[in-house]
Structure 1
Amino acid sequence: MKTNIGIQEDRTQAVAVQLSKLLADEYVLYTKTRNAHWNVEGPDFHNMHLFFESQYEQLDEIIDNVAERVRALGHYAPGTLKSFLSLTHLTEYSERENTSNGFLRELLADHDSIITFLRENIEPFANEYRDAGTSDFITGLMEQHEKMAWMLRAHLK
């Protein structure tokens, strides 16, 4: 059934395309954060294991919210690993030592990349596509990622 939410279908389609890219990025970042949780080694193992768990739990909620936003706009969310890998801006984990600093740096770079992507889409969603709701939604996501990035960055100081 088509949505009738006051936004033209071609505009919701354009927004859904960008949200699908975001969903892929979030899923790849979630997977990389899970990897860090499982495989971190070193004297700070226990603290970092718990820290990465808190981060992937936040990402799990974000993933669900992004997919549901795509559906609320009347489009289907990608849901396969193949589609995520074809849509993401991120790369899979680069093999290196399983130290907390290695994981922290890589995850921080990915959060920064997502923050930039979100920031670049706030105005187009609101102005070009007339979708203030999604613009507001991704502004909130940007703030969540900024806080998560701050937490990662704080461990590196």
Structure 2
Amino acid sequence: MAVAMKKVESKDLITPHWHEKAKEIQKYGSVVKDLPNALESDVREAMCAKLNQLLADSITLRDMYKKHHWQVAGPTFYQLHLLFDKHFEEQVEIVDVIAERIQLLGGVTIAMGADVAEVSQIQRPPRGREEVPVQISRLLDAHRVIIEECRKLAEAADKAGDDGTNDLAVSDVLRPNELQSWFLSQHLVEMPLTFAE
């Protein structure tokens, strides 16, 4: 079947066509029906739903790190400013890995801030600045949510035979979040700064 080609005037070739509108090509929550990865569509759909939850929460945590990086204050400002930014960059990579797994499974990733805010299980911080112990506590609570999700996702993926998602949940998301939690939690240990007991 021949596709009808629209005749384009030469002057239109350099004009951007930026007011394009069309229907979605794939609905959120659906998966491509047949992929060569040997996983049934119902398994991929279930995994994508769980991965999108993990993605929404990871995006929220990533953005909390940047918020706290900008707003941290006090005697530990320099150390935490750098630590929060380091963890932010690591979360950027985690978010990308989760999103790419969803796409690989034939799903559609959650992406926009408003959609993420509706879905995330992590409590939203206030817009204003908070004290350092509160910032760290919020981040630790967020890590706890993600760590629990990773364990549930890894178990579900294992039962479903989705080794790739199982590996991602444990290696790419769980372990880095556990490590970041440890680094953060050590800032809440009461320790004298200038004398030993």
Q: TM-score, normalised by structure 1?
A: 0.94
Q: How many residues align?
A: 156
Give yes or no for contact 1:33–1:55 (8 Å, CA) kept in 2: yes
Partner residue, 1:73: 105
Alpha-carbon deviation of 1:94? 4.0
* Letter of the 1:28 counterpart: T
Alpha-carbon separation, structure 1, partners of 2:103 and 2:110: 10
Structure-1 separation of matches of 2:122 and 2:166: 22
Shift in Å, 1:96 = 7.1
1:131 equivalenced with 2:171 (yes/no): no
CA deviation profile, 1:55-109 (whole Å, cap 9, x unmatched): 1010000001100010111111111112211221112114675322221111011
The separation in 2 between residues aligned to 1:43 and 1:137, in whole angstroms, is: 37
Of the structure 1 ranges 145-154 and 41-50, higher mean CA displacement relative to structure 2 is found in: 41-50
Note if 1:108 corresponds to 2:140: yes
Is contact 2:71–2:129 with CA below 8 Å preserved after alignment? Answer: no
Q: Does 1:12 align with 2:44?
A: yes
Alignment correspondent of 1:21: 53
In 2, Cα distance between the equivalents of 1:87 and 1:97? Answer: 24
Structure number with the bigger relative contact order (C-alpha 8 A, sep ≥ 6) is: 1
1:7-34, CA deviations, whole angstroms, 9 ceiling, x for partnerless residues?
1001101100000010000011111111
1:145 offset after TM fit, Å?
Answer: 0.6
| Cα pair 1:115 1:146 within 8 Å, conserved | yes
The answer to whether the Cα contact below 8 Å between 1:96 and 1:102 also exists between their aligned partners in 2 is no
Query: Cα RMSD between the aligned structures?
Result: 1.4
TM-score if structure 2 supplies the norm length? 0.75
Equivalent runs, 1:20-99 vs 2, <5 Å:
20-94=52-126, 98-99=130-131
Higher CA-based Rg = 2
Deviates more, 1:77-86 or 1:11-20: 77-86
Instruction: Report if aligned partners of 2:55, 2:99 keep a CA contact under 8 Å in 1.
Output: yes
Name the SS for the 1:75 alignment partner. Answer: coil
Structure 1 alignment gaps of length 5 or more:
none
CA distance in 1, matches of 2:110, 2:127: 27
Q: Which has the higher helix share?
A: 1
In 1, Cα distance between the equivalents of 2:146 and 2:132?
21
